Structure 1
Amino acid sequence: MDASPTEPRRARRRIDRILGPAYLDDLAGRSTDELRRMRDECEEEESGVSFARRMLQGRIDIIRAEALRRQHADGDDDAPRSILDALPSILADDVAATPLRPRVSRFLVPPAAQYHRRDVERLVSERSLAGLEERSPDELAELAQTLGEKESELSKLRRQLLDRLDALQEELARRYRDGRADISEVLPGRG
Structure 2
Amino acid sequence: MTTESHPGGRRPIDRVLADGFADDLQGLPFEDLRERRHLAEQEEVDLSFARRLLQGRLDLLRAEQQQRELPQDGPVEGERTDAELARDLSQALADAPRADHGLGRHLTTDPSRVGEHRRAAEQAVADVQASDPSALTDEAIVRAIEHLVELEQAVSDTRHQVQAVMDLMSTEVARRYREGEARVEDVLTAE
CA distance in 1: counterparts of 2:140 and 2:109, whole angstroms: 32
Change in CA separation of 1:75 and 1:34 when aligned onto 2, cut-off 3 Å: same
CA distance in 1: counterparts of 2:166 and 2:109, whole angstroms: 18
User: Which residue in the other structure is 1:69 paired with?
Assistant: 67
Q: Residue 129 of structure 1: SS of its match in structure 2?
A: coil
Question: Which residue identity lines up with residue 90 of structure 2 in the other structure?
Answer: P
Question: Which residue identity lines up with residue 157 of structure 2 in the other structure?
Answer: K
Q: Is residue 145 of structure 1 aligned with residue 146 of structure 2? A: yes
Question: Which residue identity lines up with residue 116 of structure 1 in the other structure?
Answer: H
CA distance in 2: counterparts of 1:106 and 1:80, whole angstroms: 41
1:47·1:112 contact (CA, 8 Å) conserved in 2?
no
User: Which residue in the other structure is 1:94 paired with?
Assistant: 96
Partner deviation per Cα, 1:165-184 (whole Å, 9 max, x = no partner): 00000001110011111123
User: Which residue in the other structure is 2:136 paired with?
Assistant: 135
Change in CA separation of 1:84 and 1:71 when aligned onto 2, cut-off 3 Å: same
TM-score (norm 2): 0.80
Percent sequence identity over aligned pairs: 33
User: How much has 1:136 moved relative to structure 2?
Assistant: 0.2
Change in CA separation of 1:11 and 1:165 when aligned onto 2, cut-off 3 Å: closer
Q: Residue 70 of structure 2: SS of its match in structure 1?
A: helix
CA distance in 1: counterparts of 2:20 and 2:190, whole angstroms: 33
User: Which residue in the other structure is 2:168 paired with?
Assistant: 167
Change in CA separation of 1:106 and 1:67 when aligned onto 2, cut-off 3 Å: farther
Question: Which residue identity lines up with residue 120 of structure 1 in the other structure?
Answer: A
User: Which residue in the other structure is 2:3 paired with?
Assistant: none
Unaligned runs of 5+ residues in structure 1 are 1-9
User: How much has 1:103 moved relative to structure 2?
Assistant: 1.5
User: How much has 1:80 moved relative to structure 2?
Assistant: 6.0
Partner deviation per Cα, 1:97-133 (whole Å, 9 max, x = no partner): xxx965244583x2244443332111114x9333211
CA distance in 1: counterparts of 2:137 and 2:38, whole angstroms: 45
User: How much has 1:146 moved relative to structure 2?
Assistant: 0.4
Question: Which residue identity lines up with residue 156 of structure 2 in the other structure?
Answer: S
Q: How does 1:98-113 map to 2 (within 5 A)?
A: 102-105=104-107, 108=110, 110-113=111-114
User: Which residue in the other structure is 2:181 paired with?
Assistant: 180
Unaligned runs of 5+ residues in structure 2 are 1-7
| CA-atom RMSD in angstroms | 3.0
1:50·1:105 contact (CA, 8 Å) conserved in 2?
no
TM-score (norm 1): 0.80
CA distance in 2: counterparts of 1:68 and 1:135, whole angstroms: 13
CA distance in 1: counterparts of 2:180 and 2:108, whole angstroms: 30
CA distance in 2: counterparts of 1:179 and 1:21, whole angstroms: 29
Q: Residue 54 of structure 1: SS of its match in structure 2?
A: helix
CA distance in 2: counterparts of 1:190 and 1:45, whole angstroms: 23
2:42·2:109 contact (CA, 8 Å) conserved in 1?
no
